[in-house]
Amino acid sequence: MGTTLTLSLACTQTDRSAPILDGRIPIAGCTIVPLPGQTQDIFRRVLTDKAFDVAEMSMSTHIVQVARNVEDYVAVPVFLSRAFRHSAIYIRTDRGIAKPEDLAGKTIGLEQYQQTVALWVRGILADRHGVRTEDVEWRNGGLEQPGGGERLALTLPPGIRLSAIPPGETLDGMLAAGTLDAVIATRPPPSFLAGRPNVGRLFPDYRQAELAYFRETRAFPIMHLLVIRRLLAERHPWLPVEVFRAFVRAKAHAMRELQLTNIARVTLPWIAEHEAETRAAMGANFWPYGLPESRHEIAAMLRYSFNDGLIARQLAPEELFHPSTHALADRA
């Protein structure tokens, strides 16, 4: 390695990233300038300003960029965010929507068509319930505040109907008023939290639905990954591997802390019991990094992206990541 690199690192502060951000676990050959923040701001600054050396990035947006041959950043298979998404579908309960199949022919709001949560929900609806992307009228806009819009300009194929909600409106307001049949959102809309009439979840017992989905597919949906400025990876070919290894160690540290019972490291009373339940349901490494461990999920995302018109060509999972990381295993 020789030289020590000084790198800016922008990501959400979680138990998986904190050991890197605070220096407890170093990236070999590097001095880190930690820049914890909110993901939407980080994503925007990566895309518009190329502002960081290493950064958390939307998986769906990275797929679109790779398909467009935009080469400012290269990814390593560190998946900083994963989340099951049956819980992300909110509906009007007065529209005859009793099951996912009933969403065909409906109008569904989402913050961004290209957002990873929306990609997974559309894929699940198509794969498991026969509701194709073309079967729905899609409306994009801000969830709680007017405005928003797509992170990247999109040109969708004929048959996919996407339009913006009216200026001054919000997805939450339109759901509460009944001008949308459903909304896909990463957090509960205020109308749902307030118990507004006729606003509910498509899957009231979403945890059981998500566990059943995992048992049948072995998929724990990937939301975000880690990217490195391409010029740095080209000048220092050891860097992607060392970044991967450090984040694997940080995640292993976080997972060990979940099991500690002398002093709870997370502010929940039965966190060790929750960890044990999750391990029993999903396996010892229930939050895997690495391409080999996650190929099936990545392949599904690429298929969804193509079917949804987000990318114009089929991609192989390897195309998303720096070649030096393709065979790396998730072993701390």
Find tokens 């089929």 and name the residue.
314
pTM of the model: 0.96
Which residues are registered as beta bridge partners of 6? 31
Cα 128 to the center of its chain, rounded Å: 20
The count of other CB atoms within 10 Å of the CB of residue 58 is 28
pLDDT at res. 1: 54
User: Domains in the chain, please, with CATH?
Assistant: 5-82+221-292+310-325 (3.40.190.10), 86-217 (3.40.190.10)
Closest CA to 40 of 144, 131, 181: 144
For residue 247, how many C-alpha atoms fall within 13 Å in the half-sphere facing its CB? Answer: 31
Backbone angles phi, psi at 34, to 5 degrees: -75, 135
Task: Please tell me the predicted confidence (pLDDT) of residue 148.
Answer: 85
Long-range contacts of 283-289 (CB under 8 A, 24+ apart): 285/330, 286/220, 287/16, 287/79, 287/82, 287/220, 287/251, 287/255, 288/79, 288/220, 288/330, 289/77, 289/78, 289/79, 289/244, 289/247, 289/248, 289/251, 289/330
Query: Angle at CA 268, nearest 5°, toward 266 and 274?
Result: 95
Q: Mean pLDDT, 10 residues at a time, over the chain (332 residues)?
A: 86 97 97 96 96 98 98 97 98 97 98 98 98 98 93 94 96 98 97 96 98 98 98 97 98 95 91 96 97 97 98 97 97 80
What distance in Å separates the CA atoms of residue 85 and residue 125, rounded to the nearest whole number?
11
Structure tokens at 296: 């099936």
**3-class secondary-structure state, position 235:** helix
Q: Can you read off the two tokens belonging to residue 3?
A: 């030289």
Question: According to the model, what pLDDT value does residue 2 have?
Answer: 59
Separation CA 192–CA 106 (nearest Å): 19
Q: Are strands 137-140 and 107-110 parallel, antiparallel or unpaired?
A: parallel
